[in-house]
Structures are given as C-alpha cells and as structure tokens.
Amino acid sequence: MFKIKIVAYIIAFILLGCQPKKKNKEERVEVEKEENVVLNSRYQKLLDYPVDSLSFPRSADSLGQIKKVPSGDWTSGFFAGNLWQLYQLTEEQEYRDKAQQWTVFIEKEKLNGKSHDVGFKVFCSFGNGLEVNPENKHYQKVVVKAANTLASRYSDKVKSIRSWDFNKKQWQFPVIIDNMMNLELLFEAAKIAKDSTFYEIAVNHANTTLKNHFRENNSTFHVVDYDSLSGNIHEKVTHQGFNDSSSWARGQAWAIYGFTMAYRYTQNERYLNQAKATVKFFINHKNLPEDGIPYWDFNDPDIPQAPRDVSAATVVASGLLELYTYTQEEPFLAYAEKVLHTLNSKEYLLKTENEIPFIFKHSTGNYPKNDEIDVPIVYADYYYLEALLRKKKFNL
C-alpha cells in the first residue's frame, strides 16, 4: 500500500511538473496592462497619419507599404469612422478634430451612385459624426442626400438595390450580401427626413435578401444575380469566396450584422431568426479555429494553412454584442468576448514600433484576386472599435 502511494506521488509530481505554469492573477493583470499599452500606441498611429484628401489608408502589404485610396473607394469612410470612434472611447479632442478633417473629404461621395458602397462610405464617416453630435444639420443633410443616391439604385421589379455595375457580360442585376450593411443609411435617413420611402426600400431589400441569399444550412451566397426586367433569379455565385457553394467568412459576417441591424429598426422577428441561425452556423462551424478568428473562407481546402480574416471576426463580434441584447443567448456574448480577447495579443496586434495607421494584422480582403491577403485592413479595426464602444454602451 505504502509503495503504491509513493508511486502515485511520483506520477503526480511528474505530471504537475510537466504542465505549463498557469499565470497567477497578478501576472495576468501585468500581461493585460502591457497589451493595453500596445493597443493605445496603435491608436496614436491613426492620429500621426498625415491628412490628405486623396490618400485614405485602406490596408498595408507584407512590406509595410500602405495602400492609399481616394474617397471613391468603398473603404474610404472607415478611417474617419475609426477616428470618430476613438474620440468616443478616449474623449481626447485630437481624435475628433482629425475625424472632422477626414470626414469633409468624403462629402462628394453622397452623389456617387456608381455602386451601393455610398452606404459604407458616407454612413461610416458622417454617420459616426452624428453619433457624436446628432444635431449637426449639415451631416444630416449629407446622410439624406447619400440615401437618395443609394435609393436611385433600387428596382421595384427586383425589390432590391443593385450592388454593382461591373461584369455586365455575366450579371444584369447583381445583389451581394454585403449590401445589407448599407441599409443602415436608409433607415437613419428615413428618420432624419421623415420619409418612409427610404424605410420601405430598406425593408423590401432585406426581405428579398432573406428569401434568396440563404442556403438550407443558413450560410449565405455572396452574389445573387437577377433579371432586371422580370426580377427572376439568374444565378447564385461568389465573387470573393472560394467557390459558389463555399461560405466566405466576411459574407457570413455581413449577413449576421446586417440582419441584426435591420431587426433594430423593424422589430421583424424573421430578421432576428435569420441572424441567430447564421451566427450558429458560424460559431459552431468545425472549421472555426479555437481562438475565434475564422479562416477567410470556411471551405478553403488549405485549412488549417489558409489565411485568417480578422475583419470577419470583428464584424461578427460587433454584430453579436447587439444581437445579445435582443436574445440574451450567452454563446453570442461569449464569442464576441473571445474575439476581443484574442485580438488584444501579440499574435494579432501590430507592434508599437510599426508606424502604419492600423491596429491589427491578419485580415484578408479579396483572396481569389490575390489582393490583401493576411494583412492589416482598415475595416477590421473599425468593427473592433465599434465593438469596444458597444460593450460600453450596452454595459456588457
């Protein structure tokens, strides 16, 4: 008996000795402090970036070269949005001043009806300005004008907004799942202008998307192309995903966020149910890595070597913080918190000494075009900052 006890002690000693030492509470607080120092140093880089109406920072390549774009690019509103959100998080005036300067450069986009992206551009900049000062009449007018421009792309035959004009040989009336995000501009413009037409267009678009974009398993197609005369569906395909039947991670994210937001304005339970179902597809997927940051497409055969997409994770995290307030489903809050925790780490944060105006590494823009793969991208930062603000706002 005595011998057995000795052997048991020896085995326990070896096993415990081999386990990685767990950090105690004080050590964990220290690590978190260090990570927050890095995070705050990243915020400063956005202030340091020189103001230039033609050079909105969009992403950086693996050599640290910044991809700078004009206001016409679909991502132009995010940088101003980041500064507006940093002002709200820090209450430091410098962020507000810079946010205002960058926002001015986007105003002309209110008349650019070449794609549905007028919503991303104007609402992520002017819309955030209105969060800070809801009474700003000029910003309100810009939002309403931009909503008019977006509404001009609506077809009552298709009952949708046309997303893109390119690729006319293949597509007549392409609608992409991303388009759900632009409905926020319409819902807000309906309130500002007291014009229910914007609301009706947004609701019709959401209903058509609900009917045609989702698969049996609640994942979403990227592009649904319609016949513009009859409104019938031509094809359901992808543009940025691995293939037509794959689940492009950011597409799933736009769907989750978009239907949660549409529920906020309409209280339509069908929108809420779709958002919940698509979240479940996403967070329970066998190919979602343990740290919560998805591969760029859930069906890339290169998984686990495939690149990740931080932007998809931050869009979902921000969307889920809102969805949690409607559903109280704990796994939704748990996923959002996991993402925020994962990102605040050396693996994902850019180093303090890196001067580019971004916060996180490891996003993927357009994999099939070999464009912006595993790099910092402005909209990943945007939805992360929004998630931080939502945590505060909802007291989560």
Under rule CB under 6 A, which residues in 147-186 are in contact with ligand GLY?
Answer: 178
Quote the tokens at residue 256: 């989750």
To ligand GLY, the closest distance from the beta carbon of 125 in angstroms equals 16
Catalytic residue among 73, 156, 165, 178: 178
Alpha-carbon span 396 to 387, nearest angstrom: 11
Cα(42)–Cα(369) distance, integer angstroms: 29
Identity of the residue, 322 or 372, whose beta carbon is nearer to ligand GLY in the bound complex: 372
Q: Does 250 bind ligand GLY (CB under 6 A)?
A: yes
Query: What is the residue-wise DSSP string for 269-286?
Result: HHHHHHHHHHHHHHHT-T
Report the distance separating Cα 353 and Cα 339, nearest Å.
24
Min separation Cβ 338 and ligand GLY, Å: 22
Does residue number 297 form part of the binding site for ligand GLY (CB under 6 A)? no
Q: How far apart are CA 322 and CA 256, in angstroms?
A: 10
If the CB atoms of residues 96 and 250 are measured against ligand GLY, the closer one turns out to be 250
User: What contacts 327, CB < 8 A, 6 or more positions away?
Assistant: 272, 276
User: How many residues of this chain interact with ligand GLY, rule: CB under 6 A?
Assistant: 4
239 contributes a contact to ligand GLY by CB under 6 A: no
> Is residue 156 among the annotated active site residues?
no
Helix (H) / strand (E) containing 13: helix 2-18
Whether the Cβ atoms of residue 374 and residue 64 lie closer than 8 Å to each other: no
Q: Shortest gap between Cβ of 366 and ligand GLY (angstroms)?
A: 7
We find the least distance from the C-beta atom of residue 240 to ligand GLY, in angstroms, to be 6
Question: Which of residues 176 and 320 has its CB atom nearest to ligand GLY in the complex?
Answer: 176
117 is catalytic: yes
Of residues 18 through 77, those in contact with ligand GLY by CB under 6 A are: 74
What residue has token string 């048991």? Answer: 8
DSSP 8-state secondary structure symbol assigned to residue 147: H
Q: Which is nearer to ligand GLY, 144 or 316 (CB)?
A: 316
Select 240 or 278, whichever has its Cβ closest to ligand GLY.
240
d(Cα 47, Cα 359) in Å, to the nearest integer?
A: 12
List active site positions.
Answer: 117, 178
Contacting positions for ligand GLY (CB under 6 A): 74, 178, 240, 250
